[in-house]
């Protein structure tokens, strides 16, 4: 990590001439904000075959218990199923071992919520399929999930593909309730994200090509329905991917009738936009419980199709009621400084000119790019603290849990 700290790319020089990167890292308390700081539980779990039900019960107890908040309620879990087809794999490995949350984690959580008295448990994700309407369960079968076992682990277990309307007749509009919406002041989403009493982000502890890391906050990017946001025609030259052209790059506006961007003149660079957008999403659909599966995962990118990615077994679970704090602790267990700025690992990124629009490489051709720290953006918006000194870490201490992702990252960049 050390070697990156004093290395500025040409883009960084441009960036700091505008909004100083360091300013983003201002501690919340210094900026006068009072941000929540819930406890976070860390556990070392070497295998998905261990008793994860007992493990989660213990971790929930460590963060103060969930019974009151869950009993008799509808619990919705947004699962991180990157790509959401289940076909993207490394040879011989399941998606749950690399870039998806593992079915044993989901099964255990379903059981625990049922034991805590949840009335209904809903499993949600937006799939990547052009043909909408095939059950989400079929997507899960594509990774060998025992869907029936999960269904039988609670009285009412429902699955919904939230990439479109699903079972509702209209989308729900969720307003961003943070102190400072950055990109959008509201989002239109599948009804499931409104029709629940207790919302859980079940993320995978991974690196991310454009954002450095992807954790519980990043997981909420998947609540945006492509079938709605993709209604605006694709202009020539724009990304073929709906979410990229609307959200990452801001190349096209959302369709009429859907909440629009606050400031169309704002920066179009995804490393600037996405951390802010994710903060807005977490402000629109607050996370009641953040769960991060790092028992097995992928290092070097968010999906197995990326060159340089590598399967790893960090053996980690991180659970917390505050998404910013939970992500900050998770970053620390991954060997990263949760208060790192855009010049530091993991936010100093390599972007291949082949796979990114030319305008995303500034100056043109520059492959060393950056992302802002999503946790710090969340902190600045008042969602929670990313300051480890203010977070009560329970269970396994960070120093004993740590798995150095960066040391294991082969790297995509021709270093």
| Contacting positions for another protein (CB under 8 A) | 82-94, 99, 128-131, 138, 141-146, 236, 302-309, 352, 354-355
In the complex, the smallest distance separating the C-beta of residue 306 from another protein, rounded to whole angstroms, is: 6
In the complex, the smallest distance separating the C-beta of residue 208 from another protein, rounded to whole angstroms, is: 11
- Tell me the C-alpha distance between 139 and 162, whole Å: 13
In the complex, the smallest distance separating the C-beta of residue 228 from another protein, rounded to whole angstroms, is: 19
Backbone angles phi, psi at 355, to 5 degrees: -110, 5
In the complex, the smallest distance separating the C-beta of residue 352 from another protein, rounded to whole angstroms, is: 7
- Tell me the C-alpha distance between 41 and 317, whole Å: 8
Instruction: Closer to another protein by CB, 145 or 229: give it.
Output: 145
DSSP state, residue 275: H
Instruction: Closer to another protein by CB, 12 or 161: give it.
Output: 161
**Nearest alpha carbon to residue 174 among 124, 224, 241, 233:** 224
In the complex, the smallest distance separating the C-beta of residue 310 from another protein, rounded to whole angstroms, is: 9
Instruction: Closer to another protein by CB, 169 or 354: give it.
Output: 354
Instruction: Closer to another protein by CB, 5 or 134: give it.
Output: 134
Instruction: Closer to another protein by CB, 304 or 326: give it.
Output: 304
- DSSP class per residue in 344-372: STTSEEE--TTTS-GGGSSSTT--EEE--
- DSSP class per residue in 321-342: SSHHHHHHHHHHHTT--TT--T
Q: Are 374 and 327 in contact (CB under 8 A)?
A: yes
- Tell me the C-alpha distance between 327 and 292, whole Å: 8
Instruction: Closer to another protein by CB, 80 or 333: give it.
Output: 80
In the complex, the smallest distance separating the C-beta of residue 355 from another protein, rounded to whole angstroms, is: 5
Contacts with 134 (C-beta within 8 Å, 6 or more apart), sequence order: 127, 161
Instruction: Closer to another protein by CB, 8 or 350: give it.
Output: 350
- Pairing state of beta strands 289-294 and 368-370? unpaired
- DSSP class per residue in 97-136: GTTB--HHHHHHHHHHHHHTT-SEEEEEE----SSBTB-H
Instruction: Closer to another protein by CB, 33 or 306: give it.
Output: 306
Strand partners, 292: 203, 318
In the complex, the smallest distance separating the C-beta of residue 91 from another protein, rounded to whole angstroms, is: 5
In the complex, the smallest distance separating the C-beta of residue 234 from another protein, rounded to whole angstroms, is: 9
């Amino acid at each position: 990590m050390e070697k990156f700290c004093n290395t500025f790319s040409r883009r960084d020089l441009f960036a700091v001439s505008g909004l100083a990167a360091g300013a983003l890292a201002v501690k919340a308390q210094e900026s006068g904000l009072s941000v929540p700081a819930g406890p976070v539980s860390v556990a070392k779990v070497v295998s998905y075959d261990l008793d994860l039900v007992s493990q989660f019960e213990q971790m929930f107890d460590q963060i103060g218990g969930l019974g009151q908040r869950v009993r008799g309620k509808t619990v919705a879990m947004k699962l991180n199923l990157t790509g959401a087809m289940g076909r993207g794999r490394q040879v011989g490995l399941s998606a749950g071992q690399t870039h998806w949350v593992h079915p044993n984690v989901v099964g255990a959580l379903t059981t625990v919520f049922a034991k805590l008295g949840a009335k209904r448990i809903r499993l949600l994700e937006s799939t990547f399929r052009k043909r909408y309407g095939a059950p989400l369960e079929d997507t899960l079968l594509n990774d060998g999930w025992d869907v029936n076992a999960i269904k039988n682990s609670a009285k009412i277990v429902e699955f919904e593909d939230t990439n479109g309307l699903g079972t509702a007749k209209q989308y729900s509009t969720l307003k961003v309730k943070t102190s400072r919406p950055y990109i959008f002041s509201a989002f239109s989403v599948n009804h499931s994200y409104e029709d629940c009493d207790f919302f859980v982000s079940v993320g995978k502890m991974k690196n991310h090509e454009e954002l450095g890391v992807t954790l519980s906050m990043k997981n909420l990017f998947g609540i945006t329905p492509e079938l709605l946001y993709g209604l605006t025609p694709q202009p020539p030259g724009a990304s073929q991917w709906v979410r990229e052209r609307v959200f990452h790059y801001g190349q096209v506006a959302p369709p009429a009738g859907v909440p629009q961007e606050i400031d169309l003149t704002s920066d179009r660079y995804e490393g600037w936009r996405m951390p802010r957008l994710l903060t807005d999403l977490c402000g629109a659909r607050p996370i009641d419980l953040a769960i991060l599966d790092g028992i097995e995962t992928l290092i070097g990118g968010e999906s197995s199709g990326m060159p340089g990615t590598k399967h790893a077994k960090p053996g980690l679970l991180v659970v917390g009621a505050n998404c910013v704090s939970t992500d900050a602790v998770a970053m620390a267990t991954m060997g990263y400084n949760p208060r790192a700025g855009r010049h530091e690992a993991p936010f100093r990124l390599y972007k291949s000119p082949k796979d990114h629009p030319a305008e995303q490489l500034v100056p043109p051709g520059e492959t060393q790019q950056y992302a802002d720290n999503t946790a710090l953006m969340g902190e600045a918006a008042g969602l929670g603290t990313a300051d480890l000194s203010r977070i009560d870490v329970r269970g396994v201490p960070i120093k004993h849990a740590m798995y150095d992702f960066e040391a294991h990252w082969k790297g995509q960049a021709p270093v």
